[in-house]
Structure 1
Amino acid sequence: MDKGLTISQAAEYVGVTVKTVRHYHRLGLVDEPARDSSGYRRYESAELLRLVQVRTLAGAGVPLAEIVPMLDAGTEQFAAALADVERRLSGRIAALSARRDTLNRLADGDRALLPDRACAILDRMVEAGFHRDYVAGQREALVLTRALEPEGFDGFLTQLELRLDDSDYVDLIKRGWEAEFWELDDPRIPELASAMADHYLAHPALLGSPASLQAWADAPAQYRVISSHRHNQAPVAARLTALTEAKLRAAGIPVPGR
């Protein structure tokens, strides 16, 4: 009777498929045993041991291309190689965890693209009675700001928090939203723009810190993209913003040109 196991028996004992065993052979991870008198390859203890070692290392995340050098290395080199694999696996786990967190945040809308602090500001806008379309526009502006001017994003959030603490400013912004339904040449638009500019000048913190203002002045292209977002859909808002900025600029505030 022929000794050893057939390839299907060896695969079953080791816990892999026949296809996997043959793949290991093709890669040179496990030598193919000699054929018996009937022409079948018979797997004995040496081949089975090697299959178990390869399967265990592969299952632990060791790249197949690195398994042979590891098995052929001495004890110290083997331990060092395992430590290196562990470091790489830890990095992959961290990356996968971050992806999982992003997927979880996707289920919660804004939280996929914005940090909790920004989402809290949007929640405050809703609670303050801002129209949902206004809040949606602010959400998109926050996403753009975070992407285009990341270094100034936290400062911008502080600026929004201060504005929401100012009831007079909140009333002005709500009037600005109501102005969307006015005619483009309505005389109330320049009056409202003047009131907004005067309020900013009386409360300069609402415009941001000097460093923040200078950062926007140094990034006019980004500022134009963010500040003009949705203006093609809201011509009154575009005019109101332009008039307000013009008065601020005339007062020496470094607002980038449009």
Structure 2
Amino acid sequence: MTGGVTIGQAAAFAGVTVKTVRHYHKHGLIDEPCRDSSGYRRYGSADLLRLIQIRTLAVAGVPLAEIGAILDADPDRFAAALVDVERRLNDRIDDLIARRDMLRRLATGDRALLPDRVLAKLDRVAADLGFTPDDVTMAREGLVLIKALVPEGFDDYVSRVERALGDPRYFSLVKRMWCAAEWEPDDPRVDELATAMADYFLAHPSLLPIPAGLQARTDAAIRYDLLRQHGQEQKPAWTRLAALFEARLRSAGIDLA
């Protein structure tokens, strides 16, 4: 070949680096031109056009492994290939938007880990119960644990609690339970509340807030214990309340886990 430009010049004209041009050669996207009498490879106008086409497709998001076939295809196959690439790019865009939205939700804490409908219900109930921000966080974390440990029973659990909260007596018990978090463990009101809670669920066993599917698992006791422990380190009275409540249910023949 007479004339032409060096690889460095071709790279500059095409808007890429020399390393990139060599990478294209390695992947078979463009043939290496012949050397001139001085031993230098010389790139002609056709080579430069090919480099520009490769760079454009690569920047558009076409994988290098597909660029050669696209450039060598007839016009119909070329158009169809670009449509397919566009579809995949749109899928990637949708995925990136979803990830961005997740990051934005995570900026508000663990709210991103629960469905919007559940968060809306929790916010309403928390307002009715007069929850503090810490109470709301603890309740939300408990729901996150249930969703992670018994995903198949999460919707059933939420539905049970929602139905129960429609009963003024249960609503009152829940309010007392959250107040009990500030009591001393040996406060006699703990024993009274455990009895009242047990009596309520013995009368309404279908509302017992145990996620569906939990008892069918071989490791049900481990999962139940993890759920049961939530919040008890910070609220010692809850530990005794839970123990008394469960003892009363078991003595009445209710198998918790």
Q: TM-score range by the shorter chain?
A: 0.7 to 0.9
TM value normalised by structure 1: 0.82
Shift of 1:84: 5.0
Alignment-derived partner of residue 127 in structure 2: 127
Alignment-derived partner of residue 249 in structure 2: 248
Alignment-derived partner of residue 194 in structure 1: 195
1:231 aligns with 2:223: no
How many equivalent residue pairs?
252
1:165 is aligned with what amino acid?
Answer: G
Map 1:1-258 onto structure 2 (within 5 A). 3-73=3-73, 81-82=81-82, 85-128=85-128, 129-207=130-208, 215-219=213-217, 220=220, 221-256=222-257
1:165–1:132 CA distance, 2 compared to 1 (3 A): farther
The range that moved more, 36-45 or 126-135, is 36-45
1:34 is aligned with what amino acid?
Answer: C
What is the CA–CA distance in structure 2 between the aligned matches of 1:90 and 1:150, rounded to whole Å? 30
What is the CA–CA distance in structure 2 between the aligned matches of 1:3 and 1:140, rounded to whole Å? 71
TM value normalised by structure 2: 0.82
Shift of 1:150: 1.0
Shift of 1:142: 0.9
What is the CA–CA distance in structure 2 between the aligned matches of 1:45 and 1:14, rounded to whole Å? 11
Shift of 1:116: 0.6
1:143 is aligned with what amino acid?
Answer: V
2:192 is aligned with what amino acid?
Answer: E
Shift of 1:73: 4.9
Q: Deviations over 1:188-228 (max 9, x none)?
A: 222111111222234445325xxx66523224222221122
1:207 is aligned with what amino acid?
Answer: L
Cα RMSD for the two superposed structures: 2.8
8 Å CA contact retained: 1:214, 1:254 = no
Q: Deviations over 1:105-157 (max 9, x none)?
A: 11232332111122113312431202333322211111111111111111122
Shift of 1:89: 3.4
What is the CA–CA distance in structure 2 between the aligned matches of 1:214 and 1:103, rounded to whole Å? 31
The range that moved more, 138-147 or 109-118, is 109-118
State the identity as a percent: 58
Q: Could you say what secondary structure the match of 1:181 adopts? A: coil
